[in-house]
Amino acid sequence: MQDSNVDEEISDVIEKKHPANVAPSIVDLLKQDFEELAEHEDAYIPIMGYENTGLQVRYRMPGNGKELDNIARNNMRKHKDAFTRNVNIAIDTMIHLCAGLYVQPPDLGDNGADPNVKYELDPANSGHPVGFDGNLAEIMGWEGADTIASRDVVRKLFGKNDMAIMSHFERLNRWLVNTKADLTSEIWQMGE
């Protein structure tokens, strides 16, 4: 409740300093940018190739950069080949930041489901969406679901296509750098 009072106070101050008929100041715009950046604690990034179900991964923001540094350092020690190292850093980061898988089918027909809502992928009704783990492997009907490693789940989900994994990771990385980034477009579509 205290935050809403602060917001109201800020709004009152802004209105007093900047009547509705006056353009907002650079300070107002700066505050607005900050609020937009700070409000995004998670992101939903679609997995290409799963358009019928609208499969998306919900990622959380890491608590600090040290989490990601540890992943990178661990893989740098284990893998001398740069390509293998980079793919494994991408996969391990995706696994570490995954807060669950969700579906958002474009049209579910007459069952009353809203195509604008993301639904937890939780067929066991556990109260938690599946992640990159044996639960997802079991849902998908993959052999060895009870012993499959998370890295293998990611690889299999992406069709064992390292480029698809790296493209998805690029979107995740884009969001980690700028929480307001467009995650639906490929980098080449953005003119960056």
Residues 25 and 54 in one domain: no
Q: pLDDT tens digits, residue range 143-170?
A: 999 999 999 999 999 999 999 999 999 9
Full 3-state SS string of 118-150:
CEECCCCCCCCCCCCCHHHHHHHCCCCCCCCCH
Higher pLDDT, 109 or 24: 24
Residues 165 and 105 in one domain: yes
Residues 111 and 142 in one domain: yes
Give the position of tokens 């980098």. 187
User: Which residues form the domain of 130?
Assistant: 41-190
Please give the tally of structural domains in the chain. 2
Residues 18 and 55 in one domain: no
Percentage of the chain exceeding pLDDT 90? 55
From the number of C-beta atoms within 10 Å of its C-beta (0-12, 13-18, 19+), residue 121 rates as buried
* Least confident piece of the model among 66-70, 74-78, 88-92, 173-177: 173-177
Those residues with Cβ within 8 angstroms of residue 40's Cβ, 6 or more apart along the chain or in another chain:
61, 175, 179, 180
Residues 26 and 46 in one domain: no
CA distance 98 to 169: 12
